[in-house]
Amino acid sequence: MALIATMMSYFLTLSIFVLQINNQLVIYLYLILMVLILIPVVLLTIFSAFLFIWNGLIVWRRESHSLGNLLTLVIGILLIMMPVLFNLLNHYLPNNKIVTFIENVSYSCQNYLVFWVLAFLASYFLTKIVKPKYNKEYAIVLGSGLINGDTVSPLLGSRILVAAKFKAKQLVKSKKKMILIMSGGQGSDEKLPKSVAMKAYAIKNGVPESDILVDDQSKNTYQNMLFSKQVIIDNGLDLQKGIFTTNDYHVFRAAGFARLVGLNIDGIGSKTSKYFLPNALIREYIAILVKHKKFHFCAVILIIIINSLIFIS
């Protein structure tokens, strides 16, 4: 949100500056630049519903047929159905204030969600740009579900390899060794703790066993950070000289949990398949909304109140 606010303030300041110059050529060039920036945004907005549906069909074909993997498909259908529904209501119930009120509330809530989508995406791209320094003592590798209860998945493997790569690169650049902390307990459908399978995978990919510690109790991201913090303390490592690795779409939310338990550390994200990224980002976005549900609930109530005042005026 802070990044979006900063960008808007820069845009406003630049606009005022251009107007104060009062040079027709500069104003025309500025307007052309704004149009060039807005064209892809407008096109993306117009065709977003069809892009969501297209992406949803690809995910449905390539991944498991779960409710979570239907997200982009459902959103695309809703984006098409909402205008159609309100057009039909306005056609058969012209000048109906109740319909107008519901329509205004719906689109106001949609615009509110779009604002937070932009804030989330800005944060996502920021985590892709900012790179940690090669002076770390540890890296927490966040666990995820095992295949067949005992095998590291490609998704989880990518998290481990990103940490191993950073470790190797740091050794070359600063001659400083670092410890990898494999974090993940045993799920009800798993034959062993995730962290044990992760450790074996890391050793197989060239990480010395002596450079690996294990948290085999955590069940979620919050516990990954909390229990790994205790591992860090128990082994005399500097709490603030570390990083964590996960998938790129998960870095922003995981960083929030890290700070919640007192770890002021950055994350490195492994790449996600392009076709699956929109679905994954939406899941993360929803998870963040749910985490701050009281705030967003109050915001929606405020939107309804404002539209109610307009309705009765």
Mean pLDDT, the chain, rounded, equals 86
Nearest to 143 by CA among 133, 153, 132: 153
Q: In terms of C-beta density within 10 A (0-12 exposed, 13-18 middle, 19 or more buried), how is residue 9 classed?
A: exposed
Average pLDDT for residues 14-39, to the nearest whole number? 79
pLDDT at 11: 66
Length of the chain, in residues: 313
pTM of the model: 0.74
**Confidence band (pLDDT; 50, 70, 90) for 50?**
confident
Measure the CA–CA gap between 167 and 182, rounded to whole angstroms: 14
In this predicted structure, the answer to whether residue 133 has a pLDDT above a threshold of 70 is yes
The closest of 235, 80, 227, 46 to 143, measured between CA atoms, is 227
How far is Cα 217 from Cα 310, in angstroms, rounded to an integer?
A: 53
Q: Give the C-alpha separation, 218 to 141, whole Å.
A: 12
Is the pLDDT at 207 greater than 80? The verdict is yes
Residue closest to 243 by CA, chosen among 125, 159, 150: 159
Q: Give the Cα separation of 245 and 79 in Å (integer).
A: 34
Does the pLDDT at position 289 exceed 80?
yes
At 217-245, the pLDDT tens digits run: 999 999 999 999 999 999 999 999 999 99
pLDDT higher for 225 or 114? 225
pLDDT score recorded for residue 8: 62
To the nearest 5 percent, what fractions of the chain are helix, strand and coil?
70, 10, 25
Q: What is the DSSP string of 129-180?
A: H----S--SEEEEE--PPBTTTB--HHHHHHHHHHHHHHHHHHHHH----EE
Residue 262 has pLDDT above 90, yes or no: yes
**What's the whole-number mean pLDDT along residues 183-201?**
93
